[in-house]
Amino acid sequence: MKGLLGSLATAMGGDTGIPTGCQAVKDFDLARYLGLWHEIARLDHSFERGLNRVTAHYAMRDDGGVAVTNRGFNPKDQQWDEAEGKAFFEEDAHTGRFRVSFFGPFYAGYNILWLDENYEHAIVAGPNHGFLWLLARSSSITPEMYKHMLEMARGNGFNTDALIRVSHDMSEA
């Protein structure tokens, strides 16, 4: 498995923390968060570089954890990259903080900093301000929602000027 999030924990240094000054969502409902999410924008990292049509799917595991399947299309190689991992609550079941692993005993932080009330849009960070993802249930969002998410991310100390918009255009295959 090359590429997609295969080296996430290593890239984040095995840090399961939360970015300084940020707080994870409270009153989190995992059942509502499960399912398919589309990556709308991200900060650039080697493990996702060049990928488009990126999605994340979350499902319950028998051990109480969450099965994570991340998938993205590499137009250069004309193939899909996929990584399967597992996540467990870092604090309690009502706080949107997880430790996630895509291989072995190495975990990285997955922090849900914001969710809209319908669980249709989310802002997710790694353990520091170098890792940020804007997610949505749909592969596209309104310009107003994107602006709102950018403002919230910027307010949490992220360099939103460095975000890469993720294409979900099927014709780019």
| Predicted TM-score (pTM) of this structure | 0.91
pLDDT in the model for residue 173? 53
8-162: CATH topology is Lipocalin (2.40.128)
What is the residue extent of each domain of the chain?
A: 8-162
**By C-alpha distance, which of 24, 33, 41 is closest to 150?**
41
pLDDT in tens, 47-101: 899 999 999 999 999 999 999 999 999 999 999 999 999 999 999 999 999 999 9
pLDDT in the model for residue 13? 55
* Confidence check: pLDDT of 108 > 80: yes
Which of the four pLDDT bands, split at 50, 70 and 90, describes residue 172? Answer: low
Structure token digits, residue 76? 């250069």
pLDDT in tens, 3-58: 444 444 445 457 889 999 999 999 999 999 999 999 999 999 888 999 999 999 99
Is residue 44 within 8 Å of 162, Cβ to Cβ?
A: yes
82 Cβ contact list (under 8 Å, min separation 6): 1, 4, 69, 70, 71
